[in-house]
Amino acid sequence: MDISIIIPVYNVEQYVQECIESVIAQKNIDDIEIECLVVDDCGSDKSMDIVTKAISTYQGRINFHIITRKTNGGLSAARNSGIEKASGKYLYFLDSDDYISEVCISTLWGYVKKYPDVNIVYGRTVCVPDSTHMDGYFDFRLKGGEYYSSDVSKIRATHFDFPATAWNKLINTSWVKKNGLMFLEGVYHEDEHWHMAAYGCIHSYACALDEFPTYMYRQREGSIINQSTLKKRQAAFYEIYLDLSKKILFWDRRICRKYCDMLLWLKGMPDENAKTKFNSLLSFVLENRNLSMRARLLFRYFRLPVSAIKGKIAYLILDCIVR
């Protein structure tokens, strides 16, 4: 199997028909073996009835399978269920309220054929219904993207500027499993966690810079990102950074900068809960055996009283002692 398309489904009855039909409508796939794994995450609406009906009469080249979870686990758990069952050489995540262009899979697969075993192939994304919304965020040219790169230093220089989304990418399955790049369950912004975790192990990528957009990202009321309050988002990022503190193998200036930002935020908050989180996160960071001595010196700076902790000073130290 070449590609496993993974679609988590939860309470999207208004949109899932268009999502499934966009997969069914794929063109130029005669030489590609594709399976589509629809993960039923135990919603309460008619989403899965719509899915079942849509694929019941399909007789094309794509093999559709429904994975039914026992309980609702959220987007990360549903994606992980798909990864566990996937047999494709590459994974493609598609959110069930979005849809893809009819040349999406063939376009991205063309890059795999040109650059075998590439870690990630990035597709082009547009927002719907307003295609100009977030166009800068999804423009890889503005972020230094190239058609292909295996230069690790260049890849790391641009990685955090690329959109932190799991969808609209062909992702090498063996690379995912080798590096333990599963999704952190039970948090918002799980894509941010995955994106940061991938930083230290990505060694090659390709990017569809000039192709027709492959993914239509729907902005809608009630989506996860719009429901998230600031408090929930901050709590989620704390959990994300805490988990990554135990796993990061490669600490450099860019990773340290992200942790400086998080520690400065927690250190500066007046409530006791934030102080507890600050101490917990800092302890986990300092206990990481892969942390360089230079990075340890930087993070020990955050032990000083809050009055002495200033962002500009932290980043000056960062520039001086961390490569």
pLDDT in tens, 210-243: 888 999 999 866 555 444 466 777 788 899 999 9
Contact of 230 with 272, CB cutoff 8 Å: no
Quote the CA–CA distance of 133 and 145 in Å, as a whole number: 20
Q: State the pLDDT confidence band at 124, using cuts at 50, 70 and 90.
A: very high
pLDDT of 228 reads 44
Task: Give how many domains the chain has, as a whole number.
Answer: 2
Among 182, 199, 227, identify where a domain stops.
227
Cβ-based neighbours of 77, under 8 Å, separated by 6 or more: 41, 69, 183, 185, 186
pLDDT of 42 reads 96
- pTM of this prediction? 0.92
Residue range 303-312: average pLDDT?
A: 70
pLDDT in tens, 63-121: 999 999 999 999 999 999 999 999 999 999 999 999 999 999 999 999 999 999 999 99
Quote the CA–CA distance of 133 and 243 in Å, as a whole number: 32
Among 211, 227, 243, identify where a domain stops.
227
pLDDT of 122 reads 97
Quote the CA–CA distance of 290 and 309 in Å, as a whole number: 25
Kindly report the CATH number assigned to the domain that includes residue 80: 3.90.550.10
pLDDT in tens, 32-73: 999 999 999 999 999 999 999 999 999 999 999 999 999 999
Quote the CA–CA distance of 296 and 282 in Å, as a whole number: 10
Asked if residue 290 and residue 163 are part of one domain, the reply reads no
Asked if residue 287 and residue 243 are part of one domain, the reply reads yes
Quote the CA–CA distance of 165 and 191 in Å, as a whole number: 5
Asked if residue 312 and residue 289 are part of one domain, the reply reads yes
Quote the CA–CA distance of 128 and 215 in Å, as a whole number: 10
Q: Which domain holds residue 266?
A: 230-321
pLDDT of 308 reads 60
Asked if residue 127 and residue 17 are part of one domain, the reply reads yes
pLDDT in tens, 152-207: 999 999 999 999 999 999 999 999 999 999 999 998 889 999 999 999 999 999 99
If one counts every other C-beta atom within 10 angstroms of the C-beta of residue 4, the result is 25
Average pLDDT, the chain: 91
pLDDT of 43 reads 95
Cβ-based neighbours of 114, under 8 Å, separated by 6 or more: 148, 206
Asked if residue 304 and residue 270 are part of one domain, the reply reads yes
Asked if residue 284 and residue 213 are part of one domain, the reply reads no
For residue 213, say if its preceding peptide bond is cis, omega within 30 degrees of 0. Answer: no
pLDDT of 227 reads 45
Q: Is 243 helix (H, G, I), strand (E, B) or coil?
A: helix
Asked if residue 99 and residue 236 are part of one domain, the reply reads no
